[in-house]
Amino acid sequence: MGFLKNVFGGDEAKADAESPAPPDAAPAAPAGAAPPVDARSAAPVAPPRPEAVPKPSAPPKPRHAQETRRQQQEDEDMEGVQRLLSRKVERVLEQLGTLATRARSGEEVPTLTVTLHLSQGHSLTGEVVDYVARESVLLALGKEGLRRSESVAYVDVSTVVAVAVGNAEKLLELAQLVRPNPTRQDLVALLEKLPHALTEQFWPGEASLGGKPLRFEVDWVGLDDEPGRRALESAVNVTSHALRALAQEQGREVLRRITTVRFLRGKDTRAAVEGETGTVTVGPGEPTVSAFRKAFAAGLR
């Protein structure tokens, strides 16, 4: 019996067999078997999600290009308006009344919306339908976004201190309110008058003393039509003002360093100086005194 206790472990083996295994204990693996694999560690691990990379935003448009386009649009919008002439309020109302008379006769005329600003601080917006000189104006009033309605206002002309006109380019059809197109003869006279006046202002008697007075010359190719003459008139006037400003800023010697300015048709409106000759190309866009003055100054350095 002792022999059997020693073989089977006796009471100790029985106690070990009867004692429950710890709850977390795994069953013993057979000899030579591969070690158990933890199911949690065996599960495939998802690769880390890449961080979202923001898409590069479109590069901003150059501010200079945007400003240039805006300026060009403004110049185009102002091109017709700059031909208008200043007139007294009564004269403007008279022309609007004439337009209304033509409309009543069946003529196709532009419709203008105006705002009358009154001396009492009020304003009225509508369409002029009748006018009596130095007395009154009859206005068809606009209402709730409509161009006009059944309401009218009788306004004493003496109370109107200002007239604002929407879509002012339509005023170009009223000849009394528009500067006439210059003729070639008008421009030839202007081309002689302005440089002579500049020379006399800064170098009195230059021509009589044998000097070289300032001269303006024109290449008329592409400029001897109505749009070309209007653009040339504007460029000549701006050039004169720019040279005067430059001579006042840098001294009258400027008018001895620039003795001739030539005007010719170009793709854009700009100024430059080479030697003693200034060149102004006349094209789309309204010239400015500031731009021309800077261009002439840059050419003199």
* Tens-place pLDDT, residues 228-262: 998 999 999 999 999 999 999 999 999 999 999 99
CB atoms < 10 A from the CB of 239, how many? Answer: 24
* pLDDT number for residue 3: 46
* pLDDT tens track for 125-165: 999 999 999 999 999 987 655 556 678 999 999 999 999 99
Alpha-carbon span 301 to 274, nearest angstrom: 11
Q: What is the 3-state secondary structure (H, E, C) of 154-188?
A: EEEHHHEEEEEECCHHHHHHCHHHECCCCCHHHHH
* pLDDT number for residue 207: 76
* pLDDT tens track for 273-300: 999 999 999 998 888 899 999 999 998 8
Mean pLDDT of 224-228: 91
- Report all structural domains of the chain as residue ranges with CATH numbers, in order of start: 89-177 (2.30.30.100), 184-299 (no CATH)
Question: 183 is written with which tokens?
Answer: 């003729």
Alpha-carbon span 241 to 271, nearest angstrom: 13
pTM metric for this prediction: 0.54
Q: What angle do CA 241, 79, 147 make, to 5 degrees?
A: 140
Position 7 pLDDT exceeds 50? no
Question: 4 is written with which tokens?
Answer: 């059997």
DSSP per-residue letters across the chain: -HHHHHHH-HHHHHHHHHSPPPTTPPPPPPTTPPPP--HHHHSPPPPPPPPPPPPPPPPPPPHHHHHHHHHHHHHHHHHHHTTB----HHHHHHHHHHHHHHHHTT-------EEEEETTS-EEEEEEEEEETTTEEEEEEPBTTBS--S-EEEEEGGGEEEEEESSGGGGGG-GGGBPPPPPHHHHHHHHHHHHHHHHHHHSTTTTTTT----EEEE--TTTSSHHHHHHHHHHHHHHHHHHHHHHHHH-TTHHHH--EEEEEE-SS-EEEEETTEEEEEE-SS---HHHHHHHHHHHT-
* pLDDT tens track for 89-115: 999 999 999 889 888 888 888 888 999
